[in-house]
Amino acid sequence: RNWWTAEDKAKFDALTTRLGEQYATYEPIAGYHINPGLTMGENIGDASGVAVGLEAYHLSLNGQAAPVIDGTTGDQRFFYGWAQVWQSKYRDEALKQQVATDPHSAAQFRVIGPLRNVDAWYDAFDVRPGAKYYLTP
């Protein structure tokens, strides 16, 4: 049974279309772009995971401000942690194969793809219009 309302489905379709357009611009290796038709489920999962993880982190602070450690805020450390999880190095042929067949986006775009959709990331790193990874709302 389909439990979605027509309005919910239309909103979901609009958001996933926009997310797909974002990911389609990513080119992990010259001539090979992310195929959002292949990766959309995982792209949504990554974006949701970052959002839920950040919310859980904020809840764990019990209303207290996160300490600034060595000049780094709590939110910055959270986002650095997300980026570190996806550190990788691929040979060109392996990366081409991954882009063509893997339902996950290439690692570097599993970092920046979701983060560009999180308001707190913009605040944490003072990302403004004109910056390389700024995504127009």
Mean pLDDT, the chain, rounded, equals: 97
53-57 average pLDDT score: 98
Percent of the chain with pLDDT over 90: 98
CATH: 3.10.350.10, 3.90.320.10, 3.40.390.10, 3.50.50.60. Which one for 6-125? Answer: 3.40.390.10
Residue 135's nearest CA partner among 7, 1, 11, 25 is 25
Give the C-alpha separation, 93 to 54, whole Å.
35
- The count of other CB atoms within 10 Å of the CB of residue 129 is 8
Structure-token pair, residue 48: 């949701």
Q: Domain map of the chain by residue range?
A: 6-125
pLDDT for position 132: 94
Identify the pLDDT of residue 1. Answer: 87
Q: How far is CA 106 from the centre of its chain?
A: 11
**In the block, residue with structure tokens 């995971």:** 49
Is the CB of residue 34 less than 8 Å from the CB of residue 104? no
